[in-house]
Amino acid sequence: MNIDLDALRPTGKWMIIDCVQSAGIDVTAWSFRRSDRQPVALPQSNGGYCYEWSFRSADNNTLVLCVWWEGLRIDPQGRVCFSENLRAYADTLSQQLEKEPRNRNRTVKDPRITRARHFSTTIQLAHMNRNPVRVVIVSGPVRELGVDGADHDRATGRQLDDQPWFVEAFDDKSGAFSLVRGGHDSPGQVSGSSGLDEPSNTLETDVKSDVPVVDQFATEERKDSYVYNGIQRHRDPNIRKRVLKRSGGVCELTGVPGFPMENGGVYLETHHIVPLSEGGPDAVENVIALTADAHRQAHYAVGRNEMRARCLEIVACRIKQFAVLG
């Protein structure tokens, strides 16, 4: 029996902060500006968060996507689907922006580009780890998404769907994807046998056994000891493995998935946040999994000291969460 799409049209207009919080994501950060961490008067109106199109919990286990009701379709199997390509959308916007005379110095930015790319990588993350996502259904006039500001919020309805959705298909090369509501066996309902592995909340099984995550030392030789203050110390080979498991194949700093390898694995790089040469411990609390680009930034970028503090904060939070869940 087909699902009536009208039944999914939002009947109210929830605040996006309420949708995200109801999905299980901590919204404490909304009380502060992203730029300088100063408190804001109205967290629900914090422009650094409320205009985003996708959201992730700190451990990347809870994923929330905003989709337009007008874009929903019923497939031949009677399932509610949403198909798009936000990566292509972002690329097109970027190309258009570069051609504009006002942007000849490439100083003009469009926040839709960043939001679309974040949405696309969230889809990629859910597909790679086979995690369900929560969907905020938004209704309103079909239009090109506008710029920031309450005057440009043309949504007439918004609410969190009570059913989980799954990324049934994702094209790594193009970025095209297809979301399906509920389980795969019946329209709109979560099946007890969906063909998907249930996501795990434990540290040691975040990554499915058939999707190995490897780092830069998988093929490169590395000394099993190092010297600090004239004392020889030994590295624990299990530290890297545990951190890569914890990452779920996703950069723990940026949330961007590692790139797929020809052998079927996922590539990230492990990084000692406080270098061993500065007395940092060889421990999971001091090691983070990063994309190659983020790893280089952690070493050489302007603001790397702030990045170091952020990495320590992220790792501490993830360890605490896994301890509570596991």
Tokens of 7: 């039944």
Judge if 151 and 288 occupy the same domain: no
Judge if 88 and 136 occupy the same domain: yes
Judge if 246 and 165 occupy the same domain: no
Judge if 97 and 33 occupy the same domain: yes
Q: pTM higher than 0.75, yes or no?
A: no
- For residue 87, being part of any structural domain is answered with yes
Domain final position from 181, 215, 246:
181
Judge if 170 and 83 occupy the same domain: yes
Could you list the mean pLDDT of each consecutive 10-residue stretch along the chain, which spans 326 residues? 79 94 93 86 91 88 93 90 93 82 65 89 85 93 47 76 93 90 51 31 39 78 67 79 89 87 86 89 92 90 84 85 58
Three-class SS state of 150 = helix
Judge if 118 and 226 occupy the same domain: no
Judge if 167 and 237 occupy the same domain: no
Distance between alpha carbon 267 and the CA centroid of its chain, in Å? 16
Domain containing residue 271: 203-325
Contact between 203 and 111 (Cβ < 8 Å): no
Residue 209 has a pLDDT of 43
The count of structural domains within the chain is 2
Judge if 165 and 287 occupy the same domain: no
Distances (CA, A) of 235 to 28, 282, 315: 37, 6, 19
Judge if 128 and 43 occupy the same domain: yes
Residue bearing tokens 């592995």: 197
Rounded to 5 degrees, what are φ and ψ at 133? -125, 155
Judge if 84 and 127 occupy the same domain: yes
- For residue 261, being part of any structural domain is answered with yes
Distance CA 175, CA 91 (A): 11
